[in-house]
Structures are given as C-alpha cells and as structure tokens.
Chain A
Amino acid sequence: MDDQFPTQVTRRRFLRIAAGTAAGGVLTAVLAACGGSSNATPTVAKPAATQGPTVAPFATIAPAATTAPATGASTTTASGSAAAPATSATSVTGSAAAPSTGASAYEPKNAVTIEYWQYQFDAKVNLVNKLIPDFQKQYPKITVKHVNFPYADFQTKVAAAVQAGQGPDSLNVYYGWLPAYVQSKFLQPLPDELFSVDKMEKNFYGMVQAAKFNGAYYASPIAVRVLALFWNKDMLKEAGFADAPKNWEDLVKVAQATTKRDASGKLLQEGITWGPDGQGHAWWRECLNRQNGLMPMSEDRKKLNWSDPLGVEAFTWYTDQVTKLKVAEKGFYTDDTTAFKTGHAALTVDGNFRISTLKSDAPTLNYGIATLPEHKSKATFASFWCNSITRKAGDPKGDKFIAAALFNNYLSSPAVQKQWTPAVGELPATPSVGQEFLNDPLYKGFVSQLGDAYATFYISEADDRQAVIDATDQVILKGVSPADAVKEAQGKVQAIMDKYWANQK
C-alpha cells in the first residue's frame, strides 16, 4: 500500500473529499427526514383499484350534471350545526349561518386547529376542501387542516402516526374497521350533545347501527353505498328481455340467455360477472343469505349462522353460476368490473360507487341499475365511510375534541349530504335527504333499497372477505362441496370473532 505513495495521495485526497461530501449529504438528508413532521403529505396520486373493503376509490369523477335539489332549510334539530344550505346549485358560497336558537354552549373556548384525515379520492377531497372555509366561517375559532393519503396506505399511515404520537383528531374511517379501532380505544365515543343515540337513530338509516358500540355511537356517516344490479340494456334486449330480472329465477334465465360461447366452447360473453373478490362476497354474505330467510349473524354479533342449510343453499346457488350453470367464469376479463364495463357481461352486482368509474371508462355503455333480485325477501348490503374522533383529540371537555365533534356534525348535516351525492356519487345517509333522489334515474335503484340495507359487522374485513373467496375457490377449483366450504369459512371467521369478544372487557 505504501509503494505508490505519491499517486495514491492525490487519488486518496480526492476520495476523501468525495467521501466527506457524500457522508455529509447523507447525514443532512437523514436529519431532514427525521426532523420533519410526520404528517401525511397531501398527495394527488390516484388510489389503486379496489382490493380493500367495498370501496371504489377510482380516478376522478366528473361531478354529476344534475343540480343539487331545491334547497329547503332543513337544519338538524337540537343543538349544533346550523349549516344553512347553499342557494346556488354548484358552489358552496359561505351561506349566512343561522345559528340555532339553542345556541350551544358547545363551542371551543379558545382558537384551535384540528386535523382531519381522509383518504385521497378526488371528488371527496375537493368537496371537503370547498366545505372547510364555510365551516370555519361558522366557527371562527376553529381551523381545520385537511390531510390526505393514498387509500392503500390507510392502515400504515394511521398506525405510524399513532406510534409517533401524532395523527388525526377527526378521522374519516370505513365503518368495517370500527370494531377493531374501538376495541383498541383509538376512537372516542361521539358526544351526547351532538350525537345522542336518539338523534343518530332518528336522523340516519338503520345501517348506522354498525357504528354503535357499548351503547354509544363512535362515528357519523355522510353518505352510504349499497349494492344493486347493473344490467347491460343492449344485451338483455338482444336476448328478449325488456327489463332487469327481479328475482333469483329470472336472474338465472337472463344469465343463461345472455351467455355466449364460440364453436370451441370458449366464453365470449358471460351472463353475470364472477367477483367474490369484488362485491360478490358481500352479495352472498349479507344479501343472498337474508333473501333466503337467514340472518348471517346472531343479533348480539357473536355467532355466525353461515352453515345453516339456508346459508349453504344460498352459497350453492351462488357458486352454481360458475360450476353448474356456467353463466360466469373466474378471471374472465381479469375481474367483474372490467368484464362489465368492456361490454363482456350482461349483469353484475356492484355498488353505486361504480357509477363514476363507468362514467369515465365506459361513457357509451348502455346500462341500467335495478334493485338486487329478491327471493323470499329483499335485502342489500350497505357500507359507509364515517367521521370519528380519535384519542389524540384528548379530553371530551377540551377544545380539540369539541372542535372535532362540531366538524363531524357539520359534515353529516343534510346540507352537506345534498352536495355530497351529486359530487361523489354516494347516497345520503339521512332518509329525508335520500327521498329527494328517489326519482333520479341513476340513483333510484339504490335509494329505494336503503330501507332494506344491512351493514355487516366486520372485525377483520380483509380476513372475512378472504375466507369467502377461499370458500368459492375450493368449490370451483377443488370440487369441495359448498356445505364443507362454507363450514370451513365460518370456522375461520368465527375464530376471529371469538378472539374479539374475548378481548372485549
């Protein structure tokens, strides 16, 4: 090493300087990354395609051309929000708020800033950004910081923030995640002043009970989503059907008539899509079972009833579509949504959130929306995102908590709901507002089912869904009997439920 001393010194010198600068650069970068705030930076990334709960955080929606319905000053009763509805159809001008007469002492004492976290879904984010100034005008002491992140990062973002002692004061969360969040004591019960049990049950559809734990409500919805039957009008007309099927038997007839294969038996067009990994699992779990006369879960939410003969019957009817009737095929055109929107399937069961996708990806598709085909009774699956208050908001008497509660209340008000539906495509959570959409051709099929809509009590939505998907795969790929497959799926999910209730103190 010593022999080439002179040349090595110059090269070494250069290397030393380079190493020093590089190390310095790296060190500063590390310090900057660690020292910066760990808040989720607002992203404009389009969320990935659904593989999470029954959500469709797809690309931007063009806000519906329908104008917001005529405004009637429908302020919610009792204290709190007095968001007078905007008079113009599209803009959210700061309306002169008429504070309710029971003018709440329920207000923060000092100026306070709260963080509201919502996953990135362009229509929702844009609307909330428009609403925040209006809210801040009504409550000048409150400043709302709107933080967004990609849907796929939801769990990681929240977990990381909580560990760092940061995070949201008000969190927009999927209702299906509430049981786990509530059990961890991550969320606080909503205050009685604004969200008493009576008020919640009077102002919202029955499905909101999914947010009720230990006699109190932990989150309030703005809008809900339900499943309906999307049907391709051209394909049905070609097969001789003027309208969508209304019950199970008709559905089979329509599907069989619209299935097309080529000479070698290869599927060209399927009668109905096959999507247990999309909405299919919810269709069987909450809708087909109930339509067949079976409650999928006991009233106390502790026991599953899937392996009841009625449940097995419903499951057999479902899987027969692929195995016996051959009107659906696994993986056909990748997934159920793609098959329907590219015009390769006549029927599909999907949620109203799919409307925005169809509008942007298949604007010329001639489709209709009908209520889910019934059997012995009617039922559809409902889900919703709702706004909660986290433990970071602190003491229920503190300013942050009060501010978060007021913001949630504002968001859930009928005035906001009326704007939410045309902009986002979700249905109003309040019956009186929902009625106003009963004649809208796009939403009719959904709104009319809201009275028969049920939200599944999920503890681990991902595992629940996977159990049902695995059960269908066992029947389709492995020839396992539907009864055995359902029993195994029930066993898996029941174990999760048992663990949850054992931890519940």
Chain B
Amino acid sequence: MHLTLAKRRWLWAYAFLLIPLVFFLTIRIWPAVQAFKLSLYDYNPLDTEHTFRGLGNYSDLLHDTIFRRALLNTFLYVLYGVPVGLIVSLAIALGLKRVNQFRGFLRFLYFLPYVTALVAVSWIWRWLYQPNGLLNNILHNLGFRDLGFLGSTGQALISVTVVTVWYGLGFQVIIFLAGLEGIPDVFYEAAALDGATAWQRFRFVTLPLLNPTIVFLAVIGVIQSLQIFTQICNLTTNGGPLNSTTSLVLYVYQLSFQTLPARMGYGAAITVVLFVMILVITVVQLTVLTRRYEY
C-alpha cells in the first residue's frame, strides 16, 4: 500500500493516540455508561438478582427531601464559592504582580494550601471552628458572641465554603498570574497615555484580556464545586446538622456505602442528574462568558 508522507504521519499520530484513548475509554467512559445503566435498577451489590425499575429511581428523586436539600446546597456552594474565589484570587494576583520583594516567597505561601492534602486542611479547620476553638476565642476576646460555625444549621455551609475558597486560592492565583503576564504592557501604557485611571485600566484592559483565564477558572471552579465532597465529609462528617452541608456527591456516597441495604442504583441516578447538570452549566458558561477581545 502506497502511503503518502502526510498519511503516514497521520497514521503514527493516531496510533499513539489510540493507546491512551483505549485506556481512557475503559477507565472513564465505560464505567460512566455502566452508571447510566445502573441507574435503571434497584442495585444492592450483595444481591444476586437486581430488579429493573426503568425510570423509577428518577421519579423517586422528585419526592426525596434530602435530595432536594443536597441539590440546593450544591448550588449554594457554587453560588457562594466560585465568584468569591475568583474575586479574591484576582485581587491577590494583581497585588502579587505589583510586589517587588519576596515575590517568589509570597507566591509559595499562597500556593501552599493547595499543595496540602485537603483532608488534613479540613481537619485543622474543623479544630479551628470548634465552639471553644481558636476562632471563637478571638471573637470572644473582641467582645462578640460565640458563633456556631459547623454546629449551626445556618452557618455550616458558609463555613465549609470558606475552607473551599481558601484552599482553591493558590491554584487560581497562579493561573491568574500567568494570565496577567500575558497582557502586553503596551496596552497599559497606551491607556495611561489616554488618561485612563487605574480602575478604567483594569476595567477596559485587564479584565477583557483576562477573559480566557476567567472563563477557564470559572468553568473549572463550577465543576469542582458541583462535585464537592472531601471537605464536607471531613468537616461535618455526615452532612452537617440536619443536612445543612450535604452535597449531591456526599448523598450518593451515603446511599451507596452507608445505607443498608445499599442503594447504588438510586445513587447512580443522582450521578446521572449531576452529569447532566454539569454538562448544561458548562456549555452555557462557555457560550455566555467567552468573548473575544481584539486590541
């Protein structure tokens, strides 16, 4: 068979892509398809037979109060966590860019939380949030009343969000820094020459040209927040007082691995719902937020 040079290179490319693709399909895609299938059954791994329920699991979801609560909580995690995280990390990145001394050390400090194990971070914060812990001691010394933090139905979710934002700062700051470096100084000079104030320079030069970075971080942030699990599990063990911190993934975990008999099919249905949510939200985000700025 006579192959042109182009064709041969094409073949090599796909040959090498094939191996990780097969791996990816087996490890990621096939189990996801199986999860779809699982959601149609009443599935207890210890049983020998499993009843087919069609869309029964999904109709059960409509009446499940805990599911509704978990859904609400998950949305709140996104709503509170992502914008705050982006704003704070952008502010820090802008500040870091201005700083001349100890720049490397400061960047290292900000990135450190992200490198630490999230489980360890959660447990230290849990200790800080105790009714007679450090934070309440500080409040006490300042003359304020103690706060319930993780023990209060109203404050627990926000307390968890604070930890999430704190933890993610490092990653977002680094990405923002990279994005900021990508904006040529020429534009700032031109803007300054035209008499733009600092705020105007920020609004008309920095923000638009940071758009790809912001979109990237927003999409990643939303996806991560929708899947939030580790910090909730470690800060509030079983979803906080009266399910005030339960997220969808935590609820799936409880259904599949704590409830007896296990309800993996029902849990799989929730993961399918989550998948659809993430897909829709991501597509919407990408279309709405992405803008091209040509300067």
Q: Which residues of A contact B (CB under 8 A)?
A: 16, 19-20, 23, 26-27, 30, 51, 155-156, 158-160, 162-163, 177, 179-181, 183-186, 264, 266-267, 277, 329-334, 459-463, 466, 469-470, 473-474, 477-478
Contacts and interface: CB of A to CB of B under 8 A. Distances in A.
B207 interface: no
Given A16-B12, A477-B151, 10 more contacts: A23-B16, A158-B46, A162-B46, A179-B260, A184-B47, A185-B48, A266-B140, A331-B131, A334-B126, A470-B242
Given A331-B131, A473-B242, A155 B23 contact: no
Contacts of A461: 260
Interface in B102-119: none
B200 interface: no
A495 to B, nearest CB: 12
B40 to A, nearest CB: 17
A279 to B, nearest CB: 15
Contact of A477 (B19, B44, B131, B241): B241
Given A184-B47, A477-B241, A20 B16 contact: yes
A334 B46 contact: no
Given A333-B132, A470-B242, A181 B258 contact: no
State the 10 A-B residue pairs at the shortest beta-carbon distance, nearest first: A159-B45, A180-B260, A184-B46, A23-B19, A462-B258, A186-B46, A331-B151, A460-B260, A473-B241, A180-B261
A474 B243 CA distance: 11
Interface string B248-282: 00000010011111100000000000000000000
Contacts of B23: 26-27, 30
A394 to B, nearest CB: 14
B153 interface: yes
Interface string B32-48: 00000000000011111
A329 B20 CA distance: 55
Interface centre among A267, A332, A334, A459 (most CB of B within 10 A): A334
A473 B153 CA distance: 9
Given A23-B16, A333-B132, A460-B260, A474 B242 contact: yes
Contact of A27 (B19, B47, B130, B259): B19
A477 B259 CA distance: 25
Contacts of B204: none
A51 B130 contact: no
B21 to A, nearest CB: 10
Given A27-B19, A27-B23, A478-B153, A155 B258 contact: yes
Contacts of B238: 51, 277, 466, 469
Interface of B: 12, 16, 19-20, 23, 26-27, 44-48, 126-127, 130-132, 140, 146, 150-153, 237-238, 241-243, 254, 257-262
Nearest to A177: B260
B152 to A, nearest CB: 7
B159 to A, nearest CB: 12
Nearest to B152: A477
Contacts of B146: 266
A333 B242 CA distance: 20
A23 B20 contact: yes
14 contacts: A26-B20, A51-B238, A155-B257, A155-B258, A159-B262, A184-B46, A277-B238, A329-B131, A331-B151, A333-B130, A334-B130, A459-B260, A460-B261, A473-B241
